[in-house]
Structure 1
Amino acid sequence: MHRAASSVHKETHLTTIQIISAIIFGLALIHTFAAKSFETLASRHPRHAGLLHLLGEVEVVFGFWAFILIIVMAFVSGGDAAIEYAESRQYTEPLFVFVVMVVAASRPVLDAVQRLLKGVARIMPLRTELALVWLGLALVPLTGSMITEPAAMTLAALMLAPQIFRPGIPEWLKYGALGVLFVNVSIGGTLTSYAAPPVLMVATTWNWDSAYMASHFGWKAAIAVVVNATGVSILLRKYLHSNTSDIKPKAGEAEAPKVPLAVSLVHMIVLAGVVMLAHHPVLFFGLFLFFLGFVQAYERYQSPLILKEGLLVGFFLGGLVVLGGMQQWWLQPIVSSLKPLALFFGALGLTAITDNAALTYLGSLIVGMTEEAKYMLVAGAVAGGGLTVIANAPNPAGVSLLRRGFKDESIGAVGLLAGALLPTAVAALAFLAL
């Protein structure tokens, strides 16, 4: 009798926590969309500007509400249960994104990529600055299939920041370019089975290898990427000038000594090693510690590492892991009840309010899904990956690196959503019609 009562009590607690977690998740989403408003309030209320600026940081939102959830969970279910839940979550992806951001944004890696792209740009039948923008919005996102999407996002954002996300470019066009970048990175990683988080979540379970991804998703994604990049590049062309094609990640680097080939090779090897060890946090973090030592040893060839930006993005994704882990109870019934075409649009819409990798992971738990349904779920999830900052794991990295180019140094959720609608439609059309 006592055991039965205890079981009922536990179930009641579980239901209570589920409801509370959904409410907190909803508040976090509202906070995400309202983050830009906190920046406005900060300028109006200087006395509390520090707190308001903190709450206006998009990267802080989900980490902040994750702490709230754990605190509430401790009161409702006890401290041990709260700690057990927090420690049961898988934080490999936040750690990986942090590490790959810092390594990919290092000066030797950026210099090597920029030299390569400038060489390609010079042989293209376009003005160099326009060709570089197109390559940053098309080729770099597609390389995400090899170097992973977070690395591609970091490289593209740092390359495009001085060209597009700067004074003199209309705000609406910046949001349009940001939407294209986010969507293209989301779909650009589908040429392989390991680079895009939503694909990675299902690849092993559904036996999808890179050949399958390239033949079913990759070529369609590549067409959509080219269309999106071309469209926004045409709109941007009159705002691009030759003096913006010299891309420097940090001010003052023009005087820095040329990076030796050996140093660039070490950085590239570390980046490749981190990518190959993406599922082994102890190993890739150990490699990262070696990287930090190497950077210190050859400091004269380096620019300041983006440790703060990387940590903020990791904090955001870690918070999403904690909050998202409690949403399965309402997400999975929705996903499992939809027919294939409805599943595509359902996944596309749900991706806007939850991480697309979490969505496909829930789909991988459903037994008996048809091949068509599997395709529609993943296609919808990656197509919608640019709609919001939480839709795709690399998006917070892009926000962190590019937000200073926007008004109030903040990226509005509504502006991002509006900017991503058209490229999302192009991606959806490619996956459905081709």
Structure 2
Amino acid sequence: KELRELADALRDHDGDGMGDLSQDHNRPIPLWVTFTHLMFMAWTVFFAHTPALFIGGFLFFLAFRQATEHHQNDVHLRGPVLVGFFLAGLVIHGGLQGWWLAPILTSLGETPLFVGSVVLTSFNDNAAITFLASQVDGLADGLKYAVLAGAVCGGGLTVIANAPNPAGQALLSRFFGDGISPGKLLMGAFIPTVIVSLVMMYFPDPTREKVFEKSDQVEVKTIDKKADH
């Protein structure tokens, strides 16, 4: 009877019809919970390229979050899972697109390619633009820079232009009565995009050739290792 009265006195946070432990996020979070989160973050970064340990750490994090639920916020997995499927699909299907991308990219100069990259990245995630361009063999360093710089400059024109943008929208949309307007976002980001684009094109990094040279060397070493196997 006492337990039933206690459950009735608690608020139902998860919608299961039963009272839950208090989720008052204004209370201070114990130091050991924060430290454990930092350890999980360090584990994820350190083992990012070791799938077995990475996924194992993630599963342990979910278990820890469930065990300390009264100290945690809700974990929304839908967005990250969709991003993961997007990147997986990009790698699977993007690797087969070089045959038609090569003649198009090699026929353009640096400025047209830069402008095209800025425009396209406002309708597609910039990871797609740069990955597809990387499928073209023998692309000149200047053209590589044009694609990369354009993808970076156009990343703020729309919400879908860059993967972190939806996260920013989720955090800031509550400060806008009717949500974030795509048109106003485009107008607000247009002038800064033009300024950054002019700087990137007419004042490029003088060491860009060395950067692309190193990336080419890494690619050659990777191909050689695959050939040895």
With normalisation by structure 2, the TM-score equals 0.64
CA distance in 1 between partners of 2:194 and 2:41 (Å): 33
Of 360, 363, 377 in structure 1, the residue corresponding to residue 130 of structure 2 is 360
CA distance in 2 between partners of 1:425 and 1:273 (Å): 40
Q: Relative to 1, partners in 2 of residues 1:406 and 1:422: Cα closer, same or farther, differing over 3 Å? A: same
1:350 is paired with a residue whose SS is: helix
1:248-287 aligned within 5 A:
252-254=24-26, 256-260=27-31, 262-287=32-57
Of 286, 300, 314 in structure 1, the residue corresponding to residue 81 of structure 2 is 314
The residue identity in structure 2 corresponding to 1:369 is L
How many aligned positions are there? 178
> Which position in structure 2 is the counterpart of 1:417?
186
The residue identity in structure 1 corresponding to 2:78 is L
Q: Relative to 1, partners in 2 of residues 1:276 and 1:349: Cα closer, same or farther, differing over 3 Å? A: farther
> Which position in structure 1 is the counterpart of 2:121?
351
Kindly indicate whether the alpha-carbon contact (under 8 Å) linking 2:102 and 2:137 is maintained by their aligned counterparts in 1.
no
> Which position in structure 1 is the counterpart of 2:74?
305
Higher relative contact order (CA 8 A, sep 6+): 1
Shift in Å at residue 364 of structure 1? 1.1
CA distance in 2 between partners of 1:390 and 1:405 (Å): 20
Shift in Å at residue 381 of structure 1? 0.8
The residue identity in structure 2 corresponding to 1:270 is F
Larger Rg: 2
Q: Relative to 1, partners in 2 of residues 1:428 and 1:272: Cα closer, same or farther, differing over 3 Å? A: farther
Kindly indicate whether the alpha-carbon contact (under 8 Å) linking 2:157 and 2:190 is maintained by their aligned counterparts in 1.
yes
Q: Relative to 1, partners in 2 of residues 1:293 and 1:323: Cα closer, same or farther, differing over 3 Å? A: closer
Shift in Å at residue 421 of structure 1? 1.4
> Which position in structure 1 is the counterpart of 2:195?
426
Shift in Å at residue 424 of structure 1? 1.8
Kindly indicate whether the alpha-carbon contact (under 8 Å) linking 1:351 and 1:385 is maintained by their aligned counterparts in 2.
yes
1:86-235 aligned within 5 A:
none
The residue identity in structure 2 corresponding to 1:312 is G
Shift in Å at residue 423 of structure 1? 2.5
Q: Relative to 1, partners in 2 of residues 1:332 and 1:407: Cα closer, same or farther, differing over 3 Å? A: farther
1:385 is paired with a residue whose SS is: helix
Of 129, 132, 157 in structure 2, the residue corresponding to residue 387 of structure 1 is 157
Q: For each residue in 1:296-320, what CA deviation from the matched residue of structure 2 results, as whole angstroms up to 9, or x when unmatched? A: 33344x232331xx41353366358
Kindly indicate whether the alpha-carbon contact (under 8 Å) linking 2:114 and 2:150 is maintained by their aligned counterparts in 1.
yes
The residue identity in structure 2 corresponding to 1:271 is M
Q: Relative to 1, partners in 2 of residues 1:334 and 1:282: Cα closer, same or farther, differing over 3 Å? A: farther
1:353 is paired with a residue whose SS is: coil
User: Identity of paired residues, percent?
Assistant: 43
1:384 is paired with a residue whose SS is: helix
Q: Relative to 1, partners in 2 of residues 1:338 and 1:412: Cα closer, same or farther, differing over 3 Å? A: same
Kindly indicate whether the alpha-carbon contact (under 8 Å) linking 1:313 and 1:397 is maintained by their aligned counterparts in 2.
no
Shift in Å at residue 392 of structure 1? 1.5
1:26-105 aligned within 5 A:
none
Q: For each residue in 1:347-377, what CA deviation from the matched residue of structure 2 results, as whole angstroms up to 9, or x when unmatched? A: 1111112221111111111122121211111
Is 1:369 paired with 2:162? no
The residue identity in structure 2 corresponding to 1:315 is L
Shift in Å at residue 417 of structure 1? 1.7
Shift in Å at residue 427 of structure 1? 2.4
Q: Which has the higher helix share?
A: 1
Q: For each residue in 1:215-272, what CA deviation from the matched residue of structure 2 results, as whole angstroms up to 9, or x when unmatched? A: xxxxxxxxxxxxxxxxxxxxxxxxxxxxxxxxxxxx9532x13431x33222112112
The residue identity in structure 2 corresponding to 1:419 is G
1:407 is paired with a residue whose SS is: coil
Q: Relative to 1, partners in 2 of residues 1:279 and 1:353: Cα closer, same or farther, differing over 3 Å? A: farther
Task: Report the aligned-residue RMSD.
Answer: 3.1
CA distance in 2 between partners of 1:279 and 1:330 (Å): 31
Shift in Å at residue 323 of structure 1? 8.4
CA distance in 2 between partners of 1:396 and 1:317 (Å): 15
CA distance in 2 between partners of 1:311 and 1:401 (Å): 16
> Which position in structure 2 is the counterpart of 1:296?
66
